[in-house]
Amino acid sequence: MIDDLVQVQTEAFESAASAIETSFAAWTTISIRMALMATGAMTDREARMMLSEKAVAATQGAMGGAVAMFDAAMNPPLTAGGLMLTGFEVARATTHPAGQKAKANARRLRRKMGY
């Protein structure tokens, strides 16, 4: 029981840290892309990527979340802590693709801009 609670606390902190990291990456990406659009320096390729990557990440996240939910339904947790951990697993599976893409975009655009 205590192990579950410690694991839940760890997952909560890791989820919060991941959300903050993804937020900073998204802010970086949005800021750089706004500057590119404002100056007319955005390439057609970047504009297409800006649109298509969101649909891809959303689809991957939906699939990941569905698989995690199915797994949880087939292997239900037996404790309250296990139920909370299952919720974190589903949330992570759903948000991971978008977070990875946001971080990759921020790295790529920072290098492109020389930051």
Domain spans in the chain, listed from the N-terminal domain onward: 2-113
- Answer for the pair 21, 101: CB distance below 8 angstroms, yes or no: no
**pTM summary value:** 0.83
pLDDT band at residue 3, thresholds of 50, 70 and 90?
confident
Mean pLDDT score of the chain: 94
Alpha-carbon distance of 52 to 25, in angstroms, equals 18
- For residue 105, what pLDDT is reported? 96
- For residue 1, what pLDDT is reported? 67
Give 103's contacts (C-beta < 8 A, 6+ positions apart). 21, 22, 25
* Mean pLDDT, range 25-43, rounded to an integer: 96
Burial class (CB in 10 A: 0-12, 13-18, 19+), 94: buried
pLDDT tens-digit profile of 68-100? 999 999 999 988 889 999 999 999 999 999 999
- Answer for the pair 92, 16: CB distance below 8 angstroms, yes or no: no
- For residue 2, what pLDDT is reported? 76
Measuring CA to CA, which residue among 74, 109, 68 is closest to residue 92? 68
